[in-house]
Amino acid sequence: MTPLPPSERDPAPPLELPLIETLVVMPNWVGDCVMALPVLDALAANQRRVTVLAKAHLKSLLRLSPSVHRVIVRSKSDDETIASLSEAECHEAIVLPNSFRSAWLVSRAGIRYRWGYRGNLRSPLLSAPVPRPKGKRLQIEDYRELLLALDVAPPSDWIPRLDLPRDVQEAGIERLQRARLDPTKLIVGHFAGAEFGPSKRWPWQRFVELTRAVRKARPEAGQVLLAGPAETWLGVRIHEESGKIHPLVGPDLDLAGLAGVLSQVDVLVTNDSGPMHMAAALGVPCVALFGPTDPSRTAPAGADHEVLYSDRWCSPCFRRRCPLLHHRCMKDLSVEEVATAVLDRLPSP
């Protein structure tokens, strides 16, 4: 048999490079965790198989990311956490938090290559300490220099995105239906909490007035009060003072369940919070209320959001409670301007 010329032979199969087992130490706050999702996507697109270390309450959220291969829950015991990290046998670790303890954990676990920003006396714990970036920018881009230090191409854009599986979306629809809301019609969500502290919260009485204003202007729109376990009391007060008309949803849900509910909301009114960033990553328009924190750093990423910020001389102060006791940065945001922003984001009747 005459052999085929080289051009007509079966092409050789493409060479598959081995994946690099990469550990990413995630931030502890929900919002910070969402803003770090583009880092995971960039690593997964660059021959990394991503394992994340995170606190238990973040597990269901991180499992929604297709870039995450495995989640290691951070134990209250450092010895247990170090043992879990050692068993994972990762080739490298990227430490996103700037704390000493985060770098110490991966160093004790024996991971050979350890990347992170300098500071907090932790440079000796990192095999490759990276100078912290200077200047102010959106927090979602804070890890650009870490990716560049690893020779990893940054994402095409830094907007976090969550694409929910069908079962999570259907669970969100079912949860709203149990609350006697119709997800096929307009729904306005209200999130009155903020785990950081009371200084970030618009007064709950204003949320009561806002539900009345929205109901008067758009009576056909449903409204849902959203809360996590720590904000249950806020949701209950608003529910009762608004006439027990609007259901309270969320205290019994994990973050994936909350994401399923948020995905069905047409607009979310929210303080600077984790659910704000979750909603933005789901493509839900947000009316974001800022006071003691800086919207030039942590505003919801993407289009069609409106940030309301009084920009007083004393803000942003980044305090858990107002040090001047008047809380004007949040109280200066009127019900009328918030209601106008909400109604502007609802489609015409």
pLDDT of residue 323: 82
pLDDT of residue 111: 96
CA distance 49 to 272: 32
Contact between residue 293 and residue 272 where contact means Cβ atoms under 8 Å apart: yes
The answer to whether residue 4 sits within a structural domain is no
In this model, does residue 266 exceed pLDDT 70? yes
Question: Residues 170, 93: one domain?
Answer: no
Give the model confidence (pLDDT) of 131-182 as tens digits: 998 888 889 999 999 999 999 999 989 999 999 999 999 999 999 999 999 9
In this model, does residue 255 exceed pLDDT 50? yes
pLDDT of residue 136: 84
Q: Which residues contact 108 (CB under 8 A, 6 or more apart)?
A: 78, 82
* Prediction pTM value: 0.92
pLDDT of residue 282: 97
In this model, does residue 78 exceed pLDDT 50? yes
CA distance 345 to 339: 10
Question: Residues 143, 188: one domain?
Answer: no
Question: Residues 304, 333: one domain?
Answer: yes
In this model, does residue 8 exceed pLDDT 60? no
Distance from the first to the final alpha carbon of the chain? 76
Question: Residues 145, 185: one domain?
Answer: no
CA distance 69 to 182: 35
pLDDT of residue 318: 79
pLDDT of residue 347: 87
Question: Residues 82, 121: one domain?
Answer: yes
Contact between residue 105 and residue 93 where contact means Cβ atoms under 8 Å apart: no
Among 107, 112, 97, 106, CA closest to 143:
97
In this model, does residue 10 exceed pLDDT 70? no
Q: What is the mean pLDDT of residues 281-310?
A: 94
pLDDT cut 70: percent of the chain above it: 95
Mean pLDDT rounded to a whole number for the chain: 92
Residue with the larger pLDDT of the pair 19 and 185: 185
Give the model confidence (pLDDT) of 129-139 as tens digits: 999 988 888 89
Residue range of the domain that includes 218: 166-344
In this model, does residue 7 exceed pLDDT 60? no
Among 270, 266, 276, 272, CA closest to 292:
272
CA distance 161 to 140: 12
pLDDT of residue 26: 98
CA distance 70 to 254: 18
Residue 19's pLDDT band (boundaries 50, 70, 90)? confident
The answer to whether residue 1 sits within a structural domain is no
pLDDT of residue 312: 85
CA 252 to chain CA centroid, nearest Å: 19
Give the model confidence (pLDDT) of 230-240 as tens digits: 899 999 999 99
Question: Residues 88, 179: one domain?
Answer: no
The answer to whether residue 10 sits within a structural domain is no
pLDDT of residue 311: 84
Question: Residues 106, 238: one domain?
Answer: no
In this model, does residue 89 exceed pLDDT 60? yes
> What is the CATH number for 227?
3.40.50.2000
Domain count across the chain: 2
Contact between residue 222 and residue 130 where contact means Cβ atoms under 8 Å apart: no
Contact between residue 60 and residue 81 where contact means Cβ atoms under 8 Å apart: no
In this structure, is the dihedral angle defined by the CA atoms of residues 202, 208, 211 and 217, taken in order, positive or negative?
negative
Give the model confidence (pLDDT) of 319-329 as tens digits: 888 887 778 88
pLDDT of residue 146: 94
From 149, 182, 201, the end of a domain falls on 149
Residue 11's pLDDT band (boundaries 50, 70, 90)? low
Question: Residues 71, 135: one domain?
Answer: yes
From 92, 121, 149, the end of a domain falls on 149
The answer to whether residue 154 sits within a structural domain is no
The answer to whether residue 79 sits within a structural domain is yes
Question: Residues 129, 170: one domain?
Answer: no
The answer to whether residue 9 sits within a structural domain is no
In this model, does residue 12 exceed pLDDT 70? no
Residue 1's pLDDT band (boundaries 50, 70, 90)? very low
Residue 314's pLDDT band (boundaries 50, 70, 90)? confident
The answer to whether residue 159 sits within a structural domain is no
Question: Residues 218, 336: one domain?
Answer: yes
Question: Residues 121, 200: one domain?
Answer: no
From 149, 179, 198, the end of a domain falls on 149
In this model, does residue 5 exceed pLDDT 60? no
pLDDT of residue 348: 82
Question: Residues 175, 299: one domain?
Answer: yes
The answer to whether residue 306 sits within a structural domain is yes
Residue with the larger pLDDT of the pair 156 and 38: 38
Give the model confidence (pLDDT) of 44-65 as tens digits: 999 999 999 999 999 999 999 9
pLDDT of residue 342: 97
